[in-house]
Amino acid sequence: MARRLTRSFFARSTLLVARELLGARLVCRVGEEYLVGRVVDVEAYIGESDSACHASRGRTPRNAVMYGPPGHAYVYFTYGMHWMLNVVTERQGVPAAVLIRAIEPLEGLDTLRRRRGGRGDRELTSGPARLCQALGIDRELNGEDMVRGSRLYFEASPGREELPVATTPRIGIDYAREEDRKAPWRFVVAGNPHLSRTRART
């Protein structure tokens, strides 16, 4: 039985949590079925001083989960059609989270393919909205405790230390301040074929 990631894992620096989430197994249980993928692409969003973070304009009903205890899922809706999955980091009261941008499918491929309309295996979960669609994640899981809960959680994976990690600026945050747009707070497993698409940015 794989080791679950603990509360203390998430209650640390968001950059450290983001980097160390690479390689972990993301598990989503749907009834008897387990949908599993390896985390290969994440981004850190850190506090009210980060102009790209949803908490940059203070606490609202939408971002309230980020102000709560670490290890909970922050799931939000955007662009009129897309859900995004984050996991809350830092100590309670510090609004920060890691956005899960892409996973490499490991288990439950049939279900993932069905949910994604029969697309190719590299398009099942290679994007923050794609993986939510494939795993069936929506507002129902907002606030879910990913440390104690049984529907959505992370498992440690051996060999993480050997993964080739690359950093880049975060994606899709053109509205943020220049220093925040430039911050290398996206972490990816270099060369992995299941990374999310990186769009041009300045």
Partner DNA sequence: GTAAGGATGCGCT
Partner DNA sequence: GCGCATCCTTACG
Binding residues for DNA, rule: CB under 7 A, are 43, 45, 52-54, 57-58, 60-63, 66, 74, 76-82, 84, 86, 97, 99, 116, 119, 123, 127-130, 139, 170-173, 175, 196-197, 200
Distances (CA, A) of 10 to 2, 77, 145, 161, 178: 17, 23, 12, 18, 28
Q: Cβ of residue 77: shortest distance to DNA, in angstroms?
A: 4
Residue that has been written with the tokens 């940015």 in this structure: 201
Which residue, 3 or 62, is less far from DNA as judged by CB? 62
- Radius of gyration of the CA atoms of the chain, in A: 16
Residue 20: which H helix or E strand, with range? helix 14-21
Q: Cβ of residue 117: shortest distance to DNA, in angstroms?
A: 7
Which residue, 25 or 130, is less far from DNA as judged by CB? 130
Which residue, 162 or 179, is less far from DNA as judged by CB? 179
Which residue, 120 or 159, is less far from DNA as judged by CB? 120
Q: Cβ of residue 195: shortest distance to DNA, in angstroms?
A: 11
Which residue, 120 or 158, is less far from DNA as judged by CB? 120
Assign 3-class secondary structure to 63-111. HHHHHCCCCEEEEEEECCCEEEEEEECCCCCCCEEEEEEEEEEEECHHH
Which residue, 29 or 181, is less far from DNA as judged by CB? 181
| C-beta atoms surrounding 150 within 10 Å | 9
Q: Cβ of residue 113: shortest distance to DNA, in angstroms?
A: 12
**Of 86, 64, 87, 68, which is closest to residue 6 (Cα–Cα)?**
87
Q: Cβ of residue 196: shortest distance to DNA, in angstroms?
A: 5
Q: Cβ of residue 3: shortest distance to DNA, in angstroms?
A: 26
**200 Rama class: left (phi>0) / alpha (psi -120 to 50) / beta:** beta
**DSSP classification of residue 198:** P
